[in-house]
Structure 1
Amino acid sequence: MNSLKPLALACATSIATAFSIPVAAHADEAAPATVVITGSRFPSAESLEPIGATVITRDEIRQAGVNDVNQAIRKIGGVFGRQSLDSSPDFALDLRGFGTNSAQNMVIMVDGVRLNENELSNSVLSTIPIDTVERIEIVRGGSSVLYGEGATGGVIQIVTRKDARHAQPGTHGSVFAEAGQFRERDLRAQLAHVAGPISADVAVARQDNANYRANNAFTQNSVSAGLQLAYTGGRAGVRVESARQDARLPGSLTLAQFEADPRQTRTPKDFGSLDTDRVNAFAEYRLGAVDLAAELSHRERDAESNYYFGPSASVMKYKGRQNQFSPRARWLHDIGAGMLNELVTGIDVIDWKRKTTSSFSLADASQKSKAFYVRDELRFDPAHDGRVALGARREIFDKDYVDAIMGGTPDNGAQAQNAWEAQGSYRVLPQLTLSARGGQSYRVANVDENSFRTSLSLLKVQTSHDLELGASWGDDARKVTARAFRHKLDNEIFYDPTAFANTNLDPTRREGIEIDAEAQLAPAWRATAHLQHVNATFTSGPNAGREMVLVPKNVLTARLAWLPGNGQSADVGAQWVDRQRYGSDFDNSCAARMPSYVTFDARYAVRLGPWELAASGLNLADRRYFSNAFGCRSGIYPSDGRQLKLSARYDF
């Protein structure tokens, strides 16, 4: 456990986030006739959603009774998540089996603003007011053309309700209160006012949870306020957000300690905090057949961790900021004969800086990036819904790093990378659509990886050649979608426990299948399921043929919803996670593997006028399990036990 503390320290203290939450609509607002998708970074009709996308609607979020965005992505979207190390509800999400570096191989966006930081950290989603979320879009597979570095595993977009022209006029809001086991308390309130073209809103929340383990308490206070103006041809707005987190850090256990008592802690004094402040401005305007849009965002965060080694504490402090400017344009052109062409182009400019203060580091780090992208999609043969798209991106990075304690020697350099993609789909039969996509995606080493590496020069850019073949059969009542995928990676950036440093690995590969299924079993019953099967292996070098660590071969998520239409609703879910190799088992020499597990959750709610009362439970079978373990039978972070909760919501 102690040998793993530096790794756990880096993961737990490099927490960073950014998000932009525009105006919230009334909770009881009628659902629009169509769902708007943003696959091209511009709104599109539901029929033009990204090929192979999973869309979680606000109705599904409400029915499942999830309290935060991270939980919605895992429970409804079927994305595998690992228990957080810092007591927060922000599990480490993993698309397509990238293990401990899953956060660096996936891009998360909120209303066009990138949440990813240039460090080893997971995006903090728990501060996003769940009641403001319109939908969540999950696009699995390489997406670097539109979203830049780190999008090899895919992209998750959180879209909030922000078009005041479709909101009910007047003042609306809601109050939510929940209490549960482990002294869980969740209080949320939101208020929105719409007066003609002007709208404003505010949302506040407080979360308290002692959590399952000792020294595991978590507290979070957040506030979000926005102002928006709708005008002829577009709209503009600004949002300011602030969040404060305090967390106790329970640390890891050995397998023997876990089996004796998974709720214990071996680090009873460790704790940390995270303060974030964010402001985002956006504007949209339609000029003839051309849509113009831009986001300008700024965020700051202060992170601090205190780790006790005997009577004294080791204190780490990070101060960071990031600015992003993302202007873009789209030209929609009706070619004739039922053909429609969409040309999207844009620029992403990001400036990131961080200052570290600790007994062993006084590092100043910065990264600037500039990117230009273009993507063209042609929709042809409306009778068969034919689509073909091509895109390319060029991104340049400028990195600087200097640590006064290490002698003040600067470490800097520039790196550049290209991405491309080609994809298409065609409905060959009335209920059968085939699709294919290929391309190149990439990611660059972040400041934490470059500051603790095996080579003298900066780590090489990781590249992935991506291929996917898909088929979809069915209609709105019953539908099955299957995708076979392969990612061939060169210079994958990873922490090598045999070298005790970050390095570029020998060639690796992720390949497998994904299956999404949904069915209306009866007027009041609907079932959904998602299966991911992935093989993650080395393809050459001394580890050729060996499996990558912390990657379950199979993850199956299934849900059953009951909506009789009389004010009652029920939702039951299950998730099975297959065995996986321990985090240090690069050479596959550990005789044991992390055990597989199944968890169940459920919720029942009844609507009484403006009130909604609900009872819910997580891990209903009270399964003892773990999803995070960094050593062979050690470095284990136990997952939560059974938790039962009661909640009340009032809409006005």
Structure 2
Amino acid sequence: MKSLPPPRSTAAWKPLALVSALATLSFPAVAQVETGQKLAPVTVSASRFENDPSFAPIGATVITAEQIREAGIGNVNEAIRKIGGVYGRQSPYGTSDYSLDLRGFGATSDQNMVVLVDGIRISENEQAVPLMSAIPIDAIERIEIVRGGSSVLYGEGATGGTIQIITKKGMTGATRASLFAEVGSFNSKEVRASLAKGWNNFSIDANLSSIHTDNYRDNNKLRQDNFSGSMQWAFADGRIGLRVASARQDSGLAGALSPAQFAQNPRQTTTPLDYASIDSNLYTIFAEKRLGNWELAADLSYRDRVVKTSYSPFFQPLVQGPVSTYDGHATQFSPRARYLSQAGAIKNEFVVGLDFSDASRRVSTDGNPLVKNGDQKSQAIYLKDELRFGDARVAVGARHEQFDQSFRGGIPYDQKFSLNAWDLQGSYQLTPIASIFAKAGRSYRVANVDDNGYTQNNVPLKPQVSNDYELGATLGNANRKLTAKLFRHRLKNEIYFDPLVPPCGFGFCNGANVNLDPTEREGVEIEASTRLAQAFTLSAVLQHVSAKFIEGPYAGKEMTLVPKNTATLRLNWVPGNGQSADVGLQWVDKQRYAGDFTNACNSKIPAFTTLDARYAVRVGTWEFAVRGANLTDKNYYTQAYGECSSDANIYPEAGRSLRVSVRKDF
């Protein structure tokens, strides 16, 4: 068996794009900053600018730095899954970078959401998972999850929604530092160090982290080293700065198991010689300036990334395979402007911006003279206008984007096309503790070079378009709050891998990436939190989603790798005496195997429940903690390829793990 899923799942089997999630560090514009004063926090997700709280994102889920620390969570992806309640499927590379799924997009979930750091897009242009494990967890101020179509501001791939990671900002005339060390199960060792220093209006920061672990399975050993650093100068009505980020990763690829192998020993490997390495560098220049009621901002970034993989030949797992090299480069430039005005009780925010992107990749394999080159360029303009008057908010936006794609190395193609997105949003505060909101719009996704590299008859795919709708309500306050949403996404030309596409023979088909007949995602999301007592807080995130075909030969059939129901519960205890504890429970419903397009299989990937917990005590500037994951030692899996349980290729999840840590703040 190969170490990664079959060709459909380019999102899972292509080399992971190691992108430093510290793509850019946005710093606030300040008119006057006193020595020793911390710069004001920035909220950027609603309009890609620092935001007035009255223009905060409608219906967003917010995860704070305090929640992350009290839960003992060591990486961004885990925080989104365990606190934000977002379902994820494990990475075969042994990292924490699960494929996150907003609103039931299954195997293409990574390509239907956009991940941002301080308003800058870090999602890949290829079929790859953004490596959020490269983001220093100690640098996080908060994470905002906006579910639903967001293509107006962020372009292609935002049908499922956006995940906005907001970092802590620079300090003037002060110093902030921390050291962290942790050891645990599977020979796991992690160290982290962070430092931020300011002099008047100039500041620098640096973050280092290193993870060494054997992981749960054989031949899944991981070593990952990350560095990020920045310098910024905040001046009257503006700021300018530079950020550099580098990441290095080496990992073994344990491969898939048959059902019999999984039952016998889920820790074994079928591919003992397969491995991958990733080197990535990212450089970003950012600037912002206020001119009266206008704010101007721009970000220019360049990324280079080299991925090397080696897979043993099929049916020869003990023979070292050739090395394939995936060399990618991407440049992004995003100038934008905002105008804020107020007439009486009416506030208005107008935003206009441009997005330019130029991405290329080159793939070569030892001993193979064929080199595959792919390029994609895009230029976009977007507008958004929002009014707030009394207890009501209304926002309207539109985007026009042009694409230029080309490919050389197999059957070449050159194509140019353009796409449009729009959205209309509104909310109304019925009472001080009750509000309603609604959203409607159109979003899109473009077939990238990996999608188009594995199609039937090598014909490039059409763009995917979705009509998006949402209706919601919020009731309560900080001590007791409930938010409920109804949503629907109706898609045309959804880009997906169909395992039943011919040619077929010897009992199986090759499959290919295709444009599906019309599909639909609809469901309910509920988020709730309550303070049970002074020291206890309980929170829950529940989702029910129906993902299915609505036309064509599969009409009425369920989409694969989509659990109908998920539930996340967390109980937090903070008595105020330096102690804290956090317990989390996550339940995931059954889901269809990746190849079960006809829904002919009577069995499904089994449902599972996992339990994690942490206890910590703080003594002065020291913190000592112990935490555990999968405490019931459940044998389960979230990735399984094949049509049914009898022919499934299973990627087991990790068993029980325990870790102890010490942290020192300066």
Map of 2:508 onto structure 1: none
Work out whether residues 14 and 119 of structure 1, in 8 Å CA contact, stay in contact via their aligned partners in 2: no
String of CA shifts for 1:340-394, please: whole Å, max 9, x gaps.
Answer: 010011001010010000256510111001110000000011xxx2100100000
* Residue 522 of structure 1: how far off its partner (Å): 1.4
Alignment of 1:189-228 (within 5 A): 189-228=193-232
SS of the residue corresponding to residue 313 of structure 1 reads coil
Map of 1:61 onto structure 2: 68
Work out whether residues 555 and 578 of structure 1, in 8 Å CA contact, stay in contact via their aligned partners in 2: yes
Task: Pick from 628, 643, 647 the counterpart of residue 657 of structure 2.
Answer: 643
Work out whether residues 113 and 297 of structure 1, in 8 Å CA contact, stay in contact via their aligned partners in 2: no
Residues 412, 35 of structure 1: alpha-carbon distance in 2 compared, 3 angstrom cutoff: closer
In structure 1, distance between residues paired with 2:184 and 2:137: 19
Tell me which amino acid in the other structure corresponds to 2:342.
Answer: D
Work out whether residues 9 and 497 of structure 2, in 8 Å CA contact, stay in contact via their aligned partners in 1: no
Task: Pick from 386, 397, 409 the counterpart of residue 392 of structure 2.
Answer: 386
Task: Pick from 110, 117, 138 the counterpart of residue 131 of structure 1.
Answer: 138
2:560 equivalent to 1:558:
no
String of CA shifts for 1:587-625, please: whole Å, max 9, x gaps.
Answer: 111221000000011111111111010000011111110
* Residue 456 of structure 1: how far off its partner (Å): 4.9
Task: Pick from 348, 359, 381 the counterpart of residue 355 of structure 2.
Answer: 348
Residues 295, 24 of structure 1: alpha-carbon distance in 2 compared, 3 angstrom cutoff: closer
Task: Pick from 69, 78, 101 the counterpart of residue 85 of structure 2.
Answer: 78
Map of 1:373 onto structure 2: 382
* Residue 87 of structure 1: how far off its partner (Å): 1.1
Of 495-504 and 451-460, deviating more is 451-460
Tell me which amino acid in the other structure corresponds to 1:313.
Answer: G
In structure 1, distance between residues paired with 2:482 and 2:432: 14
Alignment of 1:576-595 (within 5 A): 576-595=587-606
In structure 2, distance between residues paired with 1:327 and 1:190: 30
Map of 1:478 onto structure 2: 480
Work out whether residues 341 and 376 of structure 1, in 8 Å CA contact, stay in contact via their aligned partners in 2: yes
Work out whether residues 142 and 466 of structure 1, in 8 Å CA contact, stay in contact via their aligned partners in 2: yes
Work out whether residues 10 and 128 of structure 2, in 8 Å CA contact, stay in contact via their aligned partners in 1: no
Work out whether residues 493 and 502 of structure 1, in 8 Å CA contact, stay in contact via their aligned partners in 2: yes
Map of 1:327 onto structure 2: 335
Work out whether residues 375 and 407 of structure 2, in 8 Å CA contact, stay in contact via their aligned partners in 1: yes
* Residue 34 of structure 1: how far off its partner (Å): 8.1
Task: Pick from 477, 493, 497 the counterpart of residue 499 of structure 2.
Answer: 497
Residues 4, 203 of structure 1: alpha-carbon distance in 2 compared, 3 angstrom cutoff: closer
Work out whether residues 274 and 320 of structure 2, in 8 Å CA contact, stay in contact via their aligned partners in 1: no
In structure 2, distance between residues paired with 1:9 and 1:32: 42
TM-score (norm 1): 0.95
2:9 equivalent to 1:14:
no
String of CA shifts for 1:27-59, please: whole Å, max 9, x gaps.
Answer: xx9999988453111122444321110011111
Map of 1:533 onto structure 2: 544
Alignment of 1:286-435 (within 5 A): 286-309=290-313, 310=316, 311-336=319-344, 338-358=345-365, 361-381=370-390, 385-403=391-409, 406=410, 409-435=411-437
Map of 1:275 onto structure 2: 279
Tell me which amino acid in the other structure corresponds to 1:202.
Answer: A
* Residue 171 of structure 1: how far off its partner (Å): 3.0
SS of the residue corresponding to residue 548 of structure 2 reads strand
* Residue 635 of structure 1: how far off its partner (Å): 1.4
String of CA shifts for 1:160-217, please: whole Å, max 9, x gaps.
Answer: 112x3xx362333111000000011110111121110010111111101111111111
- Point out where structure 1 has 5 or more consecutive residues left out of the alignment: none
2:583 equivalent to 1:572:
yes
Q: State the number of aligned residues.
A: 638
In structure 2, distance between residues paired with 1:10 and 1:332: 40
SS of the residue corresponding to residue 582 of structure 1 reads coil
Map of 1:116 onto structure 2: 123
In structure 1, distance between residues paired with 2:385 and 2:27: 32
The alignment-based identity, stated in percent, is: 50
In structure 2, distance between residues paired with 1:368 and 1:89: 31
String of CA shifts for 1:390-435, please: whole Å, max 9, x gaps.
Answer: 00000111001000xx3xx531101211000001000123322111
String of CA shifts for 1:558-603, please: whole Å, max 9, x gaps.
Answer: 1111111111111111110000000000011122100000001111
Residues 47, 62 of structure 1: alpha-carbon distance in 2 compared, 3 angstrom cutoff: farther
TM-score (norm 2): 0.93
Tell me which amino acid in the other structure corresponds to 1:212.
Answer: Y
Work out whether residues 339 and 351 of structure 2, in 8 Å CA contact, stay in contact via their aligned partners in 1: yes
Residues 347, 455 of structure 1: alpha-carbon distance in 2 compared, 3 angstrom cutoff: farther
Map of 2:33 onto structure 1: none
2:96 equivalent to 1:95:
no
Residues 31, 260 of structure 1: alpha-carbon distance in 2 compared, 3 angstrom cutoff: farther
Runs of 4+ residues over 6 Å off in structure 1: 29-35
Tell me which amino acid in the other structure corresponds to 1:561.
Answer: N
Tell me which amino acid in the other structure corresponds to 1:74.
Answer: R
Tell me which amino acid in the other structure corresponds to 1:145.
Answer: V
